[in-house]
Amino acid sequence: MSIDLVFFIISYFTIIFSILGYGSFFSKFANQGNIECLGYKGLIGIFILILYSYISHLFYKHSIVHNSIIIILGLVFFLHKKAKISFTDIRNVFLIFSIILVGFFIFKTHDDFPYYHFPYTYHLTQNFLTTGIGQINHGFRTPSSIFYLNSLSYLPFIKYYMFHIGTLAILGFSNLILLNYVFIYLKKKKFDFLFFFILLIFCFINIFFYRLQEHGTDRSAQILIFILFINLFLLRDIKTDISKTFTLLIILFSLIVSLKSFYFLYLVLLPVMLYYLILDNKFHELKIVFKNPFFYLSLILTVMVLLSYFFNTGCFIYPVSFTCVESLDWSLKVIDVKQMNNWYEQWSKAGATPNFRVENPEVYIQKFNWVGNWMQLYFFNKVSDYLLGLFFMSIVFLILFKGNLRKNRKSFKFLYYYLVIILLFIEWFYNHPALRYGGYVLMALILFLPLSNFLSNLVNLNKIKIKVYGLILLVFLIFFSRNVDRILNEVDLYNYKPLKNPYYNIDENHFRMEKKLKLYLDTNK
């Protein structure tokens, strides 16, 4: 085992347990500290570190010394007796993150990683607040909270080779959340709608999102949207701890919006949530939200996200032109913002590829002029393959959990949420029909909700515990084997040697924006 591999693995687990330490400490302030699920504690830790990262960057850079202090403090929280983390908890976290560690071995990263993911994260480690950096790179106009989280992983020895740990942390803690729910339901022998919905989500994120380098900033947000819907559905359960669920919803909403600005659209779910609270006679319990410190922390995070857009571009939500203040020295011109918005729409509608551009993009993106070309270049085979995968997984569930339909079938309790999902899907298809822009989660939800409701109406389910455990093992085996196959391909194609040098490939291209940024700073002194 090489020294680089040792540092790689030690740094990996150190950061994960530090995040969990922050989550365990700060979860005590949420709902009298009764958030016990390790996965949720991990997401709370991510939330706290992202919030801190946004605020701290206003005043100082995230240097190696600064980050070392932050990570060590998280470990202190983790080891403190008040964290109440048992040996079993540590074992479970270690087991899940050991299984998905194979996905962390990457040589070739996401196409956007050298373009702006790495440069922006590296910029956070070298400089504090700088206005107008959206002028030097299009990617710098759309920062994500995942960059701010990753910037805290700039540490001794490992340096910038952990700049992709944020996506893996979200995947790992989400797996802990989902498995915690599954085991609780198995223990209670409660095989209802939510049980099958949660099990479907667990299978989905580990099979369809197994390639970590493809996550970017989009798939992490879509994983959290799945978790968000679980909590929205739990609100209708009479036994649900309303205060705890509200806390988690607040954190999830703010994290999702911070990862990608267009997920502000998902706030349309709030009126439906309020409707169901009134219907279930729980509306009066909303007052607990205003007593929850995480409500105000989430507001602060949302404000900081908007300010990051504003300081970079002069727009509070880029590329929404009416949110721009053009008169500032560092602001982008509104006409450029509108052109960029059209470009994003053109790209998502298959009007632009590395080797192709439509002749009249402004005409192309209007109404449904783009559908034919989109069907030819994108639906076949990108979306069609994805849909086939969804249908295949659904068939496996139907075969695995076959049984007899109840005589008195349970009705679907979430009709209005389903209608909102359909509306979001229509908006997605009309404006930005790329899977990475929310298509994965919307299509899956449209299929999984009726499927889960159908499965919950089956009776005489034989050996369900054995089947579920077998399914979990199979899913992790698929995740592991597919990543091993990917690594072997990278060994052949790029001469990658993960046991000797486990780091992803870095070249001068990754640092080109830092050179432009230094020139920009020198020019604007």
**Antiparallel, parallel or unpaired: β 352-353 and 404-405:** unpaired
pLDDT at position 43, please?
97
Least confident of 21-25, 307-311, 347-351, 518-522: 518-522
**Ramachandran angles phi, psi of 324, nearest 5°:** -90, 145
**Where residue 32 falls among pLDDT bands split at 50, 70, 90?**
low
The gap between the terminal CA atoms of the chain, to the nearest Å, is 48
Cα(275)–Cα(336) distance, integer angstroms: 41
* Residue found under tokens 């990917």: 486
Please provide the size of the chain in residues.
525
Which segments within 225-355 are labelled E, that is strand? 352-353
Name which of 443, 16, 40, 410 is nearest 230 in CA terms: 40
- Contact call for residues 151 and 125 (beta carbons, < 8 A): yes
Rounded Cα distance between 199 and 220, Å, is 18
Global pTM exceeds 0.85 = yes
CA 220 to chain CA mean position, Å: 2
The token pair that represents 225 in the structure block: 């949207």
Residue in 232, 192, 158 with CA at minimum distance from that of residue 5: 158
Q: CA-CA distances (angstroms) from residue 45 to 41, 92, 301, 341, 491?
A: 6, 17, 14, 34, 35
Q: What is the pLDDT of residue 510?
A: 87
* For the chain, percent of residues with pLDDT exceeding 70: 98
For residue 225, the number of C-alpha atoms closer than 13 Å in the C-beta half-sphere is: 28
- Domains of the chain: which residue ranges? 3-315+463-523
- Of 311-320, 346-355, 432-441, which gets the smallest average pLDDT? 346-355
CA-based radius of gyration for the chain: 23
Paired sense of beta strands 356-357 and 404-405, if any: unpaired
HSE-up of 439 (CA within 13 Å, CB side)? Answer: 20
